[in-house]
Chains A and B, each alone.
Chain A
């Protein structure tokens, strides 16, 4: 009966689409359906991840085997090396972590998890992706313009970034700024949509504490993004004017201040860490509760912790500038706030561990990724304490220790978090189950080499080896650790190789994986109550879900089954 009405609704939808909606391939390019837009973000983000990964491969090869021709690329010139590290950093943060974790998962999951048929502003949503796509085209073409891509690092400090006489990339550096600014506009539009949708489009009966963690975390992240991006946007306009209109905002000889940019940049840059962290935490929490078959330990604690992290993250930015000539008294204050922020983060880890404790744990592929996230992120968090303390930072600043630290935070967030979410919601997104064996090969083939890339880099950093060096042969006193650099590079190549298993698994499962039922993981949240994949509008109009309880009621004593869907009447 329900099925018949669903097909009827479907037929009706097709009939009307012939008059209103676009046809064929345009249906996917010009759609306002949140699921289609999510897929656009997801695949664009994954493509950019391949670009960023290839860049990492090229410059790691140059570092391990300096002056040798890199297979698939050729000889790496100093300018190209700089453009590669800049491109890798910018792309992985702005064009991989943000679009996949916030835009793709946010667009796909927020309406489904709160029981809405779409975002509240579908057309603004479409515009958001189109602006994002434009930013992708600008950043990619900036690599090929005269003078080459911008090479002043993803932080783009002036005076190097402001003056073409220094950076030698007059076009590349401006295009980099334009691309970043466009990307911000895209996510601003997306963020407005997410927040408004969560506030105004929840299913009847869904109170604040009935919202699953993924929508909460993505919305808190969007709020952080929207509050932090303004000053950097102002800085980007000023830097663009310095580059192209001859102003002197960051030029000390003309009354400007180069450290001003660092303040504007890191006022955004540090909250940005939490902008991408929180969605990943949300994904991990949902997976952990589902596969531990246990009620989430401390729902409210986690929620308030996330808010506290967000608030604190606005008061830590100057820990990036301890040796940029800021007042040591100010450095002390920022050391305290920085160390303080590890408290809520540790609390999040404890919530996850307490949820696991005594659970009926099932080590499916998404769960493996979720557990790996906790373990690896912990290393990133702990090493951050060394850098947050201004005394230790004076020694470690600008060494490979910094680089290893933030890869131990960003890799778990952007890569492990994404794989966790992707493998968990793949059945919903594509209506097929993924292959567990291939998934496990891919998992171990990613996690083990990952540690072999970055633990060696901690060693290099503790040895005092500086970042941003094109050819270590020019520094004989840094040569004794060359084998460590080679180990890191080989591990990277191994890790990249194992990604083939992921693509193989995706294509194979998509084409002929076993059909996924509505709720393959026996989960509670609303997205599992509709078809896999969900139809346009997510549920038939007369079957929109109602909510009766919180999202994490697993193994409730009053029930026979070990799960209790949110939409099941009491």
Chain B
């Protein structure tokens, strides 16, 4: 599809999704779409640093969690929620720069292992310092409108997709892909790899922080350590791989497929859904490393041959 084709598709989808709360008055539908949009934003944020710059962040939940923590705290202290989310994103990014400045100087698996450890340390610390469930004040609960959360999610998902689409066509995006393919060869070709890895991390964690803010805005009550849980990282990772890592539309397809399957499986086979996703993940990595995007491309080639 051409650039204009994609743009038209994106605008149409956005308009249709924006109209949903006006037409559909069922909370279960809005909640489902909300989850899809949150997943798009979170997966896309992981896709920036891992799919494009090739830096496997296994502690992505730490940045999602930080965004949630800061947003929730400020919002309950009666800040506007968007201001809270912006500061949440800022906190996540500042922390990311600190981590990246150290971990990116080391080659190999240090970044993956370091972020994994860091995510867990943060989760345990938050769980110890803030063991009580966080519940919104009664007045806020009274004024709760699901549509507000839905529009926040829609805007964030659109921004996340927009960021990745812009990256795909930019000089920085191409440089990041060069880093992903071969760091030494990228350096030899003039690419400042440390700067680009940090840029990818900043973009990625700013989006993850905002997604955390959205989580804090959506839930009436939750344990503050919950958004720091490693399953958020693995959701983002699975969605991105299922859809197509390092592509713009992969994580969108992946999120729709994943949330749908997860909701369905959670109702039918509560105990088995992790096992099923694990198997699915392995199958995709082994047989279809390009995810759904590649599957679609292969089908198209087959169809063309059959004609």
A binds B: no
- Residues of chain A touching chain B, judged by Cβ–Cβ distance below 8 Å, are none
- Residues of chain B touching chain A, judged by Cβ–Cβ distance below 8 Å, are none
